[in-house]
């Protein structure tokens, strides 16, 4: 099992995050935001495999590449596209889907489940290509459990609404399901012979209530799991962009509490700390503040992206050094290192 990520787009340009959760039995693909040109580094088959598209907010630099995504997926058969965003996402996406001429759509597949949240409840709507997206069919409201938008067998997707000037920006976190491995020691000291039943114990689609035959005897999956399976927490990755939390504020405290122990945090780094006044005015963090946040939240590693083009590559390198003063495990994405000196 693993979480793999890739920052799309170049330093100083629009960025997005392509994320893969591989459980060993199935793979889920996520895209966080969809700025202009961000999808050019993905293959069409990768774009068509994305099942969750999560928008932090709908400022242009986070949504300008959506037409490319839509073109690849508008009539995707079998698997719906799940879209997530802050309140207003359903209306915005509905308008966007309808802003094309549709006259050859009636036999086309294509299902879009758009969900929006204000932090405690998830509203949803289903939109269909064969209807030319005429109606946003409302889905029942679902109260969030803590910060979880959805808990699926292989992952949990969480949301934390952050302030970004006068609008919210949603931070997302993906947490893999617990990992299940067979204990070699338990097997060594057991009278059971290894067989296909071992695989069933780590299979996420098989529930504890089921039963299985081992050496001709019937056993409960729950009992076998208790004896042979070692569980460990899955990996986690959080994506935070376009936000500002003030030092000492309740929101910052709650954010640190939420992020605590997250393996990887991908964060915006729009402003050099010398431009803090501008960062405050525009609802963004500075490089130093992002480092302090990562340090206070005791996260595993910090990846910086969404750099302002007002700065030169030398400035960006200085911003990373500034972040590292409070959080040494900060870095730019690996493939940016050739365009940013001394980073």
Q: How many CA atoms lie within 13 A of 191 on its CB side?
A: 3
| Cross-sheet strand order for the sheet of 264-268 | 148-151, 155-164, 167-176, 236-240, 264-268, 301-305, 330-331
Pair 285, 265: CB distance under 8 Å: no
For residues 61 and 322, which CB has a smaller minimum distance to Zn ion in the complex?
61
Question: Which of these ranges, 18-26, 36-44, 53-61, 102-110, lies near Zn ion under the rule CB under 5 A?
Answer: 53-61
Q: Least CB distance from residue 62 to Zn ion, whole Å? A: 6
Cα–Cα dist 46/6, whole Å: 12
Q: Least CB distance from residue 242 to Zn ion, whole Å? A: 4
For residues 242 and 289, which CB has a smaller minimum distance to Zn ion in the complex?
242
Pair 269, 232: CB distance under 8 Å: no
Told to check if 322 binds Zn ion by CB under 5 A, we report no
Q: What 3 state SS string does 283-305 have?
A: CCCEHHHHHHHHHHCCCCEEEEE
For residues 28 and 61, which CB has a smaller minimum distance to Zn ion in the complex?
61
Task: With both helix axes pointing from N to C terminus, report the angle between 287-296 and 250-259 in degrees, rounded to the nearest 10.
Answer: 60
Pair 236, 277: CB distance under 8 Å: no
Q: Least CB distance from residue 277 to Zn ion, whole Å? A: 18
Determine the size of the site formed for Zn ion (CB under 5 A): 3
Pair 16, 8: CB distance under 8 Å: yes
What H or E segment, with its residue span, contains residue 197? helix 196-202
Active site residues: 61
Kindly list the distances between the CA atom of residue 62 and the CA atoms of 26, 162, 174, 242, 261, in Å, as whole numbers in the listed order: 28, 16, 19, 10, 27
Q: Least CB distance from residue 141 to Zn ion, whole Å? A: 27
Told to check if 61 binds Zn ion by CB under 5 A, we report yes
Q: Least CB distance from residue 307 to Zn ion, whole Å? A: 11
DSSP label at residue 145: B
Told to check if 14 binds Zn ion by CB under 5 A, we report no
For residues 59 and 329, which CB has a smaller minimum distance to Zn ion in the complex?
59
Residues 128-167 touching Zn ion, rule: CB under 5 A, are: none
Question: Which of these ranges, 61-69, 102-110, 187-195, 294-302, lies near Zn ion under the rule CB under 5 A?
Answer: 61-69
Residues 229-268 touching Zn ion, rule: CB under 5 A, are: 242
Q: Least CB distance from residue 15 to Zn ion, whole Å? A: 8
Pair 85, 57: CB distance under 8 Å: yes
Choose which of 22, 37, 51, 59 interacts with Zn ion (CB under 5 A).
Answer: 59
For residues 36 and 242, which CB has a smaller minimum distance to Zn ion in the complex?
242
Binding site for Zn ion (CB under 5 A): 59, 61, 242
């Amino acid at each position: 099992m693993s979480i793999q990520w890739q920052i799309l787009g170049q330093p100083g340009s629009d960025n997005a995050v392509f994320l893969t959760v591989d459980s060993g039995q199935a793979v889920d693909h996520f895209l966080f935001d969809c700025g202009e040109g961000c999808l050019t580094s993905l293959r069409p088959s990768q774009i068509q495999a994305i099942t969750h598209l999560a928008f932090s907010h709908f400022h242009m630099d986070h949504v300008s590449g959506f037409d490319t995504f839509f073109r690849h997926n508008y009539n995707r058969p079998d698997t719906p596209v799940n879209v997530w965003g802050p309140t207003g996402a359903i209306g915005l996406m509905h308008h966007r889907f309808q802003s094309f001429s549709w006259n050859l759509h009636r036999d086309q597949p294509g299902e879009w489940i758009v969900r929006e949240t204000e932090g405690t409840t998830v509203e949803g709507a289903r939109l269909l290509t064969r209807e030319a997206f005429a109606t946003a069919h409302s889905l029942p409201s679902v109260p969030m459990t803590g910060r979880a938008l959805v808990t699926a067998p292989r992952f949990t997707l969480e949301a934390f609404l952050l302030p970004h000037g006068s609008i919210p920006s949603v931070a997302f976190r993906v947490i893999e399901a617990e990992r299940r491995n067979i204990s070699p020691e338990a097997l060594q000291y057991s009278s059971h012979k290894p067989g296909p039943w071992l695989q069933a114990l780590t299979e996420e689609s098989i529930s504890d209530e089921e039963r299985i035959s081992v050496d001709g005897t019937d056993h409960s999956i729950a009992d076998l799991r208790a004896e042979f399976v070692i569980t460990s927490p899955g990996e986690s990755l959080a994506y935070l962009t376009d936000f500002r939390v003030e030092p000492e504020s309740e929101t910052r405290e709650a954010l640190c509490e939420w992020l605590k122990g997250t393996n990887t945090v991908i964060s915006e780094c729009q402003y050099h700390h010398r431009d803090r006044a501008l960062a405050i005015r525009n609802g963004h963090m500075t490089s130093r503040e992002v480092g302090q946040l990562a340090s206070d939240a005791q996260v595993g590693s910090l990846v910086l992206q969404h750099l302002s083009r007002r700065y030169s590559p030398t400035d960006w390198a200085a911003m990373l050094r500034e972040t590292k003063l409070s959080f040494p495990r900060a870095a730019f994405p690996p493939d940016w290192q050739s365009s940013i000196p001394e980073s």
